[in-house]
A = this chain, B = another copy of it.
């Protein structure tokens, strides 16, 4: 069951594709789960991928397509005719995956494909899904739900469910709606198991009416939070009148979670687009350059500030020695503080927290760190037998810089969040650069004072 792509397997597959040994390729794919086939095809170049993909049977091919890397999937779909997409692919995938695939096609091709769909319900479902804004519950949901009416008897419901089930590949939950299609409850599998013993019972008397749902325009992040909090596998999606529109499954939510984590992590590391190791050097460079340029601009500003203190550096050249220490510590503290805030905001635990009380808490953390670091560096400088003025300068500046960096690190993400900008932007190079600059300013100001006191 545990499948790993080895270099040998990949080389063999590439050779098979190059030589057109279709039966050998068939034999490899026959053993594998569609997700594994997709992982293999992801590693081929476009022409080889198209070749290998075309050898798959329709149902497997459709499953593989939903698992493929987005870019490759788009290119593969564009290599298929509208008729192939409508009949061979969309027939076999859930409406949410179908809508995802459609959104990668050109406007014209999309219209063509949709017109070619024979099932009216499917056509309307995909068209509806395409209208929802990306990043909302509507864009995540699929239309495949099994519903029974609250006022039906169990026996009537079972007959109806069987009919509905023929159209749907995976059944997760059975939804109970009222006569206006408003969500009334869910019918757990457990009750269904016992149901044939009580065929005259009404559904509304056995169903569970404590249902967690989301409205169609809820943000994807909130969908994740709710699914995680309430431990639900499938989340029903309703409109403003509580009419059941569709359902979001755990796999879509896992994808959202991974994307969010990746995005936060990349922002914290100074990478602005979603790139990975497989992207071309140019694309990777493009995602990384903005942050390097922010750092560079910060560096130029720092250079101007230091230039202002050239006189001070001539009096005390040794002050140059500790510039990196001050700048690095300021940067580190700032990133830590902002990371705590960003995570608190993401987890929702910081939504209703007063900004001042948050800063007071952070100030206490910073004070503790500042005392430890300031004392330590004081001891080190005594050991290194630095002159008195420098010893005091470094410790006092470090102490102040830790406090201010913590405050910047706390305020900036909170402020960004208030203006509805992603607070994760604040971590990484942005906060580091700002704190570098401010740290140097503090350092030279303190130095100027100290060298006045201890000439």
Contacts and interface: CB of A to CB of B under 8 A. Distances in A.
B269 A351 contact: no
Interface string A278-313: 100110110011011101101110111011001001
When all copies of this chain in the complex are counted, the total is 2
A165 B281 CA distance: 55
A391 to B, nearest CB: 12
Contact of A323 (B210, B269, B314, B323): B323
A216 interface: no
A206 interface: no
A373 B297 CA distance: 10
Contact of A324 (B192, B324, B402): B324
A2 to B, nearest CB: 8
A251 B228 contact: yes
A244 to B, nearest CB: 13
A270 to B, nearest CB: 5
A257 interface: yes
Contacts of A5: 352
A229 to B, nearest CB: 5
Interface string A240-269: 000000000011011101101110111011
A169 B189 CA distance: 10
Query: Chain A interface mostly helix, strand, loop or mixed?
Result: helix
A228 B306 CA distance: 51
A418 interface: no
Contacts of A172: 233
Contact of A295 (B2, B328, B380, B428): B328
B261 A257 contact: yes
A106 interface: no
A265 B339 contact: yes
A297 to B, nearest CB: 9
A324 B327 contact: yes
A95 interface: no
Contacts of A261: 257, 260-261, 264-265
Given A258-B257, A317-B314, A436-B324, A190 B165 contact: yes
Interface of A: 1-2, 4-7, 33, 35-36, 39, 67, 158, 161-162, 165, 168-172, 188-190, 192-194, 196, 210, 212-214, 226-231, 233, 250-251, 253-255, 257-258, 260-262, 264-266, 268-271, 275-278, 281-282, 284-285, 288-289, 291-293, 295-296, 298-300, 302-304, 306-307, 310, 313-314, 317-318, 320-329, 331-333, 335-336, 338-341, 343-344, 347, 349-353, 358, 361, 364-365, 367-369, 372-373, 376-377, 380, 402, 427-429, 432-433, 436, 440
| CB-CB nearest 3 A-B residue pairs | A299-B325, A269-B339, A261-B261
Given A262-B343, A266-B343, A320-B323, 19 more contacts: A35-B230, A67-B229, A250-B250, A261-B261, A264-B265, A265-B343, A268-B268, A269-B338, A270-B339, A277-B344, A288-B365, A292-B402, A295-B329, A298-B325, A300-B380, A302-B325, A303-B322, A324-B327, A332-B429
